[in-house]
A and B are shown apart, each in its own frame.
Chain A
Amino acid sequence: MRYNLFDHTADLGMEFFGGSGEELFLSAATGLFDVITDLEKVKAVEKVSVSAEGIDGEDLLVNWLRELLYFHQVKGMLLKKFVITRMEATSIEGYAKGEFFDEKRHVIKKEIKAVTYHDVAIEEKDGQWMARVVFDL
């Protein structure tokens, strides 16, 4: 998992890194949940399928993160393991493993309310990928 946090007026900015597009999307997924909770306390026991589509790469990344966040916000899950089974320029399929939030064992470090389009960017240089996403808190 490779990510940085950056400062943003009322919200949280994150930069993700990867050696390929797939790695970048995996970094983003893990980074998101690493900010939400302490992943060491989460077991990978429940499996959910995740898929997303986008009109371009940035939109795809936003929608991928939105789908993952849905499992947290609505289903009450904490996810820690992510697998991408198929990835194209504007669509992605995979699954995630984690477990349901248990207040006795888990912590919520930060509530992320939404994934935004603000200044969303994906860049690639010499085979190194980087993405920037701002989250609404």
Chain B
Amino acid sequence: MKKKKKGSFVSERTSGNRQKSSPGGGQEIRLEKLDDYRWLIPRTGGMRVPGMIYSSEKMLRHISLDQSPKQVANVAHLPGIVKYSLAMPDMHWGYGFPIGGVAAFDAEEGIISPGGVGYDINCGCRLVSTALQVNDVKGHMGGLVDALFNQIPTGVGSRGKIRLSVADEKKVCLEGAKWAVKNGLGAAEDIEHTEEGGMLAGADPSAVSERAYERGRDQLGTLGSGNHFLEVGLVDRVFDSSMATAFGLHEGQVTVLIHSGSRGFGYQVCDDFLYKLTRHVKSLSLDLPDRQLACAYLNSSEGEAYFSAMACAANYAWANRQALMHLSREVFEGYLGMAPRDLQMRLVYDVAHNIAKKEEHLVDGVKRTLCVHRKGATRAFPAGHDEVPHAYRSVGQPILIPGDMGRSSYVMAGTERAMEETFGSCCHGAGRLLSRHAAVKKAKGRAIYREMEDKGIIVRAHGRSTLAEEMPEAYKDISDVIDVVENAGIAKKVVRLRPLGLIKG
């Protein structure tokens, strides 16, 4: 299949796209080392700004294989991009934009792109603290994880108990986590500890397709499949005790970490707009190096429509994580036979890691409104920022960074340096190392479930292949990622969490 012949299904227009985005081919990306944790991709060809990758020599060995540096350079071609096309140390290949990518575009002259947000709009993490110490749950973990697995819908196309009418779904789109709290799925203080108050402004339910509503109807309060999880863990190490205290965390404390997103609703919104903008972008006569960079100017009707629909999906995701937290509170209360005031399951923070937001940033000393795309990247605002909840204002925004299911997760805090360099952004996780297929092959003949239990981690999942795909070896070592962002100064370590038990799709 080396040579392509022209036939009725092979158009001239697509041949240009393919040649430029072809895997393995194309020009080599040159990385210039700035210091031990910063690597510059110099501006070449149609790049409007340089690229910058936060990584280490050790981590670069993995990423140079998967074309994600090329994707960082591709993003730099998009109109209105400001300062740099950035990537975090957990970067890996994604559709159009790399996972771990951060790019900010001028709100007047720049674009917005569904590829810069991803399919699972507002996929994110939520950390819940409890009044329990690890000894309180020892001996109960098997039963507790079973109860969570039975009560919280997980897995392929999981459907929840909450069934929404289209009118309700539209309210979810507008109000996000606030809708959930209003409907008895949480407490008012949960909202204060959610990024954006769990409700992104600018949502317009009329920008969302019928199909998205159809897919989202019975998926609120469901975890989903793939890398989504709900994990019971403990704080096993405190790096900064005053910051940890501010976040309400201390050594030995039991926590719940929830990773999920906007489910089929967000997928459909992304899919719909990839379809629309692939067509629209042709009228803009932009020379895009990859079809999946389809975009629209933010201030055009197409760009506004995507932003409004994306905001609906972001709000759906916040309502979903709020509902999941509520379900887990109910399970803890029921299984442990404890009252809410004794359990004190409190939301530490909820942060998005697939989103585009309009934010104000200082660029060369001038305050500008930017559309910051974070795809597999977490907001990381510093102490003193208005958007940081009052309780954390003196230490900075909590950043939640889950590792793989067998290793640790981290809570960090945003820094001033992140504000200056990365538009207040940081990494979002460990980053995949093996493809799902390769992971399944590697797990053949092994009982991952048993291996985890030997490490003292109880796992419940639907089907063996999910566990194999998600086994620890499929991911990079989270501590390598954390070292890079800490040493680069864009986040500060606060505590480390160790898993005790988890449920997966």
Interface positions of A (Cβ within 8 A of B) = 5, 7-12, 21, 24, 55-61, 63, 66, 70, 73-74, 76, 88-89, 108, 110-111, 113-114, 116-125, 129-130, 136-137
Contacts and interface: CB of A to CB of B under 8 A. Distances in A.
Contacts of B9: 21, 24, 56-58, 60-61, 89, 122, 124, 129
B8 A73 contact: no
A35 B474 CA distance: 22
A119 B435 contact: no
B239 interface: no
A118 B3 contact: no
A123 B4 contact: yes
A124 B10 CA distance: 8
A55 B282 contact: yes
A88 B11 CA distance: 13
A7 B437 contact: yes
A8 B22 CA distance: 14
Contacts of B21: 118-119
Given A61-B9, A116-B292, A130 B1 contact: yes
A123 B5 contact: yes
Contact of B278 (A55, A60, A129): A55
Interface stretch (B52-60, B264-272, B352-360, B405-413): B264-272
Contact of B23 (A21, A114, A119, A129): A119
Given A114-B270, A136-B95, A73 B435 contact: no
Contacts of A120: 291
Given A9-B92, A55-B279, A89-B9, A125 B432 contact: no
Given A73-B264, A110-B465, A124-B4, 16 more contacts: A5-B437, A9-B66, A10-B99, A11-B435, A56-B11, A57-B7, A57-B9, A58-B9, A61-B9, A74-B214, A89-B9, A117-B274, A118-B21, A118-B292, A119-B22, A130-B1
A59 B292 CA distance: 12
Interface string B258-296: 000000100100110011001100100000000110100
B14 interface: yes
Given A11-B436, A119-B23, A89 B267 contact: no
B157 A111 contact: yes
A55 to B, nearest CB: 6
Contacts of A12: 436-437
5 contacts: A57-B9, A76-B157, A113-B267, A119-B23, A125-B5
Interface on chain A toward B: helix, strand, loop, or mixed SS? mixed
Contact of B291 (A11, A60, A117): A117
Contact of B157 (A8, A73, A89, A124): A73
Nearest to A11: B436
Nearest to A88: B8
Contacts of B92: 9-10
Interface residues of B, number: 47
Contacts of A110: 465
Contacts of A136: 95, 119
Contacts of B437: 5, 7-8, 12
Given A12-B436, A116-B292, A137 B7 contact: no
Contacts of A10: 92-93, 99, 432, 435-436
Given A7-B437, A55-B279, A114 B156 contact: no
A12 B22 CA distance: 17
A108 B214 CA distance: 21
Contact of A108 (B95, B156, B270, B436): B156
Nearest to A10: B432
A118 B71 CA distance: 12
Most buried by A among B5, B13, B279, B436: B436
B23 to A, nearest CB: 6
A59 B294 CA distance: 13
Nearest to B272: A66
A74 B211 contact: yes
A73 B11 contact: no
A56 B14 contact: yes
B215 A89 contact: no
Contacts of A24: 9
B14 A58 contact: yes
Contact of A121 (B8, B18, B95, B278): B18
Given A55-B279, A130-B1, A118 B10 contact: no
A7 B439 CA distance: 11
A7 B438 CA distance: 8
A127 to B, nearest CB: 10
A132 B214 CA distance: 29
Nearest to B8: A89
B248 interface: no
B104 to A, nearest CB: 24
Most B C-beta atoms less than 10 A away, residue of A73, A113, A122, A137: A113
B225 interface: yes
Contact of B215 (A74, A121, A125): A74
Contact of A125 (B3, B13, B22, B282): B3
Given A12-B437, A114-B119, A119-B23, A63 B275 contact: yes
B335 to A, nearest CB: 26
A81 B155 CA distance: 27
Contact of B8 (A57, A58, A119): A57
Contacts of B1: 123, 125, 130
B22 A111 contact: no
